[in-house]
Amino acid sequence: MSSHQPSTLIYAGTFERVMDGKHRVTIPAAWLAQGVSEFHAVPHPSEECLIVMPPHEFQSVEERIEQSGAPAAERRKAIRQFYSRARAISADAQGRILFAQDQCKVLDLQGEIVLVGGRSRFEVWNAARWSAIAHQEHDSFLKVANLIGL
């Protein structure tokens, strides 16, 4: 599969999976059917999950950091930290992604995990942690949904 940028790339849904002993997870076929099979995985800077980004999303991060308005030294440090924590990953012929052992260990990603769609990227969560977060975020979702008339 190609790693080009499809015009309507959307990662939506929540998928429970089991990560095997080699840290492989099967990605939803609908996500791979969008034409992207190469990604970058980066631990979220403030939440206990792994962010998985297709190439176009990953490449946009440096630009967003540069446009952030932060002082030059802070931008340089943020770029360094972001890229040093990132790992290139790709789906194999069976639609599985092999995640880096060090990232999985730090985030306790083993056994039951959850893939959570986030429109232009997706997240990988420890299943128990995701259950707690989803419950905590429910009221915020309801408030915003009501504000926008959803």
C-alpha–C-alpha distance, residues 19 and 41, integer Å: 15
DSSP of the chain, one letter per residue? ------TT--B-SEEEEEE-TTSEEEPPHHHHTTS--EEEEEE-SSSSSEEEE-HHHHHHHHHHHHTS---HHHHHHHHHHHHHH-EEEEB-TTSEEE--HHHHHHHT--EEEEEEE-BSSEEEEEHHHHHHHHHHHHHHHHHHHHHHT-
CATH code that applies to domain 14-148: 3.40.1550.20
For the chain, give the mean pLDDT. Answer: 93
> Per-residue b/e over 25-50, b at no fewer than 16 CB within 10 Å?
bbbbeebeebebbbbbbbbeeeeebb
pTM equals 0.89
Instruction: Place 132 in a pLDDT band, splitting at 50, 70 and 90.
Output: very high
pLDDT digits (tens, 9 = 90+) for 51-76: 999 999 999 999 999 999 999 999 99
- pLDDT band with cut points at 50, 70 and 90 for residue 2: very low
